[in-house]
């Protein structure tokens, strides 16, 4: 269902998703494709809607973290190529093959296991071989490992190599030295291969905007598509004007006066020094509006207003200067008049990255999708069966 | 669907939920009912399954934070009384009435609005009046407000008062002085009422275990039902032996050797000083395994093992002393041999409360339900349509 009965919601501007993606495409040579990274529910923005918008805007394939996420896209009618970037079980190879979902391979043993299970399978499994050139995460690290994989693959026809890739650890840092080293290691292993698969890719958003040497024939774009900078460090030198796609809103609930000595919320950590107006907002840490955001500002009628006391599971309280109409809109992420609160601001406050801010917005927050200023879709995940 | 294709899952022991609830019931007089608090997806444990287990174990009603959460329970066949503890819109009063879901009322204007919308409604709306006795959150604060509400209700028959309640801000602190003050304020307003509704309730888990004067005829039990202490402060003086219901597991993925100077994860913040074994775990911050948990231990074969480098969106890395079998089970929350990692330990590390730890486990983590040591249900929220 697309109904929701609470006064907290995230608004996702699909035009911005598309504009960001097109702006990045502008930077790339014509033959470099864009894979839209929609893992983690499209970084909290909503996987199905973002995937469709991205494909419409020129992305030719999608990346997810889990086979489950890929299947979810297929079950919602998405037919574009999908790559699972994370690890999958060899025993699930037939499922991936059946859904036409490509998987990442990072060792020989996966292939052995997959081949066992693919015996009865009618569909070929498509794989991308992952090379770890300095991320210290999934991926093979040597030419020998690549040789072994090529050897075992050469004797069979159930698995087809569709791509080879790596991932940068520091493409979002001022200094691109480490990324260039990673690129070199990638090239060395690449050039040891007997034959190259059709898709070769290395770049995340940061590299797609900053390291043309790493384009090959595809880039994998996540954070920039959502209109956020890969890091604060490079924010001011990006070649595109990214437009944040997500805003977060709630509404003023009870407006009440409290008096000197009265406290607010659990533990009574906030105490009024004089008569004050306190407003309850229906959003809390179970929505991903985490407890550490206590003290953070929100925007009410274009003014910054502080959260007082501890953030509760489903609610938090702010102090306002004067009584205010119930149901007034409150902006938690987004723009109101001259003021804006960005995911970057929240990330800085929480000593984390903007990626985590949007990912953290929970299943309990309905997502409202807009195109051309109009609502085109609403998802309330609570009402999925 | 109840399939999942990733190697990370939460296990919820429904026997523990029931044992905790029964142990609390033992403390209460026979005529004090238990309302099981299953808001926020049952604090991350799974609303439907926990609600059913709690009702089976003697709870007579359920509490949620949002009308949406109540509707979700009804749509899954749950017929027990449900109370929405948070704010709802007056315009949604007919929806609440139709689903037989009781709502919390914290001002007169809600009632006026609700009455307007209930005109055409066949069903009566049941409400609980909330009194703010010191939480500084939702609720009326004076006898005058109560009088006004009683007055407006007296002239109509669409809305029926089913309960009156308050909520403690510090029942989980050593010193119960503040709670006793809240109780006093509650009694004063209560005794000013023309007539008392059938249900009077004030106690959360902490008060249910520590403040018999506050029992009235119902207590609202959340955290203790999940087997967690309302605070570290009172953990050692609780009259019941709480059994944590949730464990969190993943499996070892690629096991690889890295060498002196090699770094792990984004930013290369962790550097090996000698040859070391690094294992990738398929869980990351989009699962609620948040970035600040970097450095935290996990349990592998009964041993504490540290997370090294930054936690990624879908993965994190740990350092092990020697190579280890792929797919070995890793315990993130729970017991392995002599060692245990509790939600309390994670909360302490994150400077937060155990409530937030379990709430944060995201929609991406499948929940596996056990009773009598056997799997009775599996939920993979990704496959809800
Ligand atoms: C293999 C891979 N490719 C491409 C991307 C897209 O990165 P970006 O959002 O910076 O464009 C990611 C994202 N990674 C996340 C952030 C992680 O693993 O933590 C990735 O893991
Ligand atoms: C009105 C109300 N009653 C009862 C409970 C159950 O509390 P406990 O889990 O301590 O038994 C809660 C939980 N509150 C959460 C924790 C909050 O508002 O942050 C509540 O808001």
Instruction: List, as own/partner pairs, every contact residues A343-346 make where C-beta atoms lie below 8 angstroms and the sequence separation is at least 24, other chains included.
Output: A343/A228, A343/A244, A343/A246, A344/A228, A344/A229, A344/A232, A344/A235, A346/A293, A346/A296
* Contact call for residues A125 and A154 (beta carbons, < 8 A): no
What's the mean pLDDT when you consider all of chain A?
97
Give backbone dihedrals phi and psi of A230, rounded to 5 degrees, phi first. Answer: -60, -25
B75 touches chain A (CB under 8 A): yes
Assess whether A39 carries a catalytic annotation: yes
Position A262 in a domain: yes
Position A257 in a domain: yes
CB contacts of B43 in chain A (<8 Å) are 286, 313
- Of A25, A39, A52, A170, which residue is the catalytic one? A39
Position B232 in a domain: no
pLDDT value for B384: 77
pLDDT value for A202: 98
Position A238 in a domain: no
Q: Which of A4, A68, A263 shows the shortest C-beta gap to B4?
A: A68
**Best to test chain B binding among A1, A2, A5, A91 (most B CBs inside 10 Å):** A5
> Taking residues A206-222, what's their average pLDDT?
97
Residue B188's alpha-carbon distances to B34, B86, B116, B137, B201, in angstroms, are 24, 23, 31, 19, 14
Position B81 in a domain: yes
What sign does the dihedral A252-A258-A263-A266 (CA atoms) show?
negative
- Residue A207's CB: how many other CB atoms inside 10 A? 27
Q: Which of B75, B266, B352 shows the shortest C-beta gap to A291?
A: B352
CATH number of the CATH domain containing A289: 2.40.37.10
User: Considering only residues 96 to 115 of chain B, which have any Cβ-Cβ distance to chain A shorter than 8 Å?
Assistant: 106-107, 109
**β-sheet bridge partners, residue B8:** B250
pLDDT value for B2: 73
Structure tokens at A45: 């923005």
User: A273 and A169 in one domain?
Assistant: no
**A227-277 confidence digits (pLDDT tens):** 999 999 999 999 999 999 999 999 999 999 999 999 999 999 999 999 999
User: B270 and B346 in one domain?
Assistant: yes
Position B1 in a domain: no
Instruction: Count the domains in chain B.
Output: 2
CB contacts of B95 in chain A (<8 Å) are 5
Ligand 1 surroundings by CB, under 6 angstroms: A 37, 85, 167, 204-206, 220-224, 230, 355; B 312-314
- Confirm or reject: Cβ of A313 under 6 Å from ligand 2: yes
Structure tokens at B36: 């099981």
pLDDT value for B289: 98
Structure tokens at A93: 């190879």
Position B237 in a domain: no
User: A269 and A196 in one domain?
Assistant: no
User: B260 and B124 in one domain?
Assistant: no
Q: How far is the CA of B304 from the centre of ligand 2 (A)?
A: 33
User: A165 and A80 in one domain?
Assistant: yes
CA distance B32 to chain A (A): 25
For residue A120, give the DSSP letter.
T
Q: Which of A253, A258, A382 shows the shortest C-beta gap to B69?
A: A382
Q: Which of A5, A107, A170 shows the shortest C-beta gap to B268?
A: A170
> Taking residues A26-48, what's their average pLDDT?
98
Is the pLDDT assigned to residue A1 strictly greater than 90?
no
The C-alpha atoms of residue B222 and residue B230 are separated, in whole angstroms, by 9
- Of B25, B39, B130, B170, which residue is the catalytic one? B39
User: A139 and A32 in one domain?
Assistant: yes
User: A83 and A113 in one domain?
Assistant: yes
- Confirm or reject: Cβ of B37 under 6 Å from ligand 2: yes
- Confirm or reject: Cβ of B355 under 6 Å from ligand 2: yes
CA distance A239 to chain B (A): 22
Domain that holds residue A362: 246-383
Last residue of one domain, picked from the residues A159, A193, A224: A224
Rounded mean pLDDT for each run of 10 residues along chain B, 385 residues in total: 90 98 98 98 98 98 98 97 98 98 96 96 96 97 97 96 98 97 98 97 98 97 98 97 98 96 97 97 98 98 98 98 96 98 98 98 98 97 81
The SS3 of residue A71 is helix
A346 touches chain B (CB under 8 A): no
* Contact call for residues B63 and B82 (beta carbons, < 8 A): yes
User: A122 and A83 in one domain?
Assistant: yes
Last residue of one domain, picked from the residues A224, A259, A280: A224
Q: How far is the CA of A167 from the centre of ligand 1 (A)?
A: 8
* Closest protein CA for atom 16 of ligand 1: B313
Residues with Cβ within 8 Å of residue B42, at least 6 apart in sequence: B49, B50, B51, B226
User: Considering only residues 25 to 64 of chain A, which have any Cβ-Cβ distance to chain B shorter than 8 Å?
Assistant: 39-41, 43-44
User: A145 and A22 in one domain?
Assistant: yes
Comparing CA positions, the residue from B364, B365, B279, B288 lying closest to residue B325 is: B279
User: B252 and B221 in one domain?
Assistant: no
Comparing CA positions, the residue from B124, B123, B126, B120 lying closest to residue B104 is: B126
User: B140 and B39 in one domain?
Assistant: yes
CA distance A356 to chain B (A): 7
User: B194 and B76 in one domain?
Assistant: yes
CB contacts of B312 in chain A (<8 Å) are 137
Structure tokens at A71: 């299947």
Position B4 in a domain: no
Q: How far is the CA of A90 from the centre of ligand 1 (A)?
A: 23
Token pair 């044992």: residue? B19
CATH number of the CATH domain containing A157: 3.20.20.10
pLDDT value for A209: 98
**Do strands B33-37 and A263-264 pair parallel, antiparallel, or not at all (unpaired)?**
unpaired
**Do strands B218-221 and B199-203 pair parallel, antiparallel, or not at all (unpaired)?**
parallel
């Amino acid at each position: 269902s697309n109904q929701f009965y609470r006064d907290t919601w995230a608004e996702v501007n699909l035009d911005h998703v598309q504009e960001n993606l097109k702006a990045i495409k502008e930077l790339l040579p014509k033959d470099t494709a864009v894979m839209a990274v929609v893992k983690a529910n499209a970084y909290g923005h909503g996987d199905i809607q973002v995937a469709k918008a991205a494909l419409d805007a020129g992305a030719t394939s999608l990346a997810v973290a889990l086979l489950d996420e890929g299947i979810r896209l297929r079950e919602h009618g998405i037919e574009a190529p999908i790559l699972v970037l994370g690890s999958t079980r060899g025993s699930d190879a037939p499922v991936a093959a059946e859904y036409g979902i490509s998987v990442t391979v990072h060792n020989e043993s996966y292939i052995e296991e997959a081949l066992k299970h693919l015996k009865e399978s009618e569909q070929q499994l498509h794989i991308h071989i992952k090379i770890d050139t300095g991320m210290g995460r999934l991926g093979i690290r040597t030419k020998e490992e690549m040789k072994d994989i090529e050897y075992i693959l050469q004797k069979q026809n159930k698995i087809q190599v569709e791509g080879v890739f790596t991932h940068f650890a520091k493409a979002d840092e001022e200094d691109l030295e480490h990324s260039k080293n990673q690129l070199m290691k990638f090239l060395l292993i690449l050039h040891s291969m007997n034959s190259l698969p059709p898709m070769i890719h290395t770049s995340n958003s940061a590299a797609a905007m900053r390291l043309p040497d790493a384009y090959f024939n595809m880039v994998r774009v996540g954070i920039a598509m959502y209109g956020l900078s890969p890091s604060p460090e490079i924010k001011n030198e990006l070649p595109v004007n990214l437009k944040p796609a997500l805003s977060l809103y709630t509404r003023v609930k009870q407006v009440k006066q409290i008096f000197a000595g009265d406290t607010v919320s659990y533990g009574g950590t906030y105490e009024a020094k004089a008569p004050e107006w306190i407003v309850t907002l229906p959003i809390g840490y179970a929505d991903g509006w985490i407890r550490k955001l206590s003290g953070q500002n929100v925007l009410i009628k274009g003014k910054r207003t502080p959260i007082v006391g501890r953030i509760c599971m489903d609610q938090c309280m702010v102090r306002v200067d004067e009584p205010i109409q119930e149901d007034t809109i409150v902006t938690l992420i987004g723009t109101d008049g001259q003021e804006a609160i960005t995911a970057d601001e929240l990330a800085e406050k929480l000593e984390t990255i903007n990626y985590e801010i949007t990912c953290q917005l929970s299943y309990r927050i309905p997502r409202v999708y807009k195109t051309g200023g109009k609502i085109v879709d609403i998802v309330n995940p609570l009402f999925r069966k």
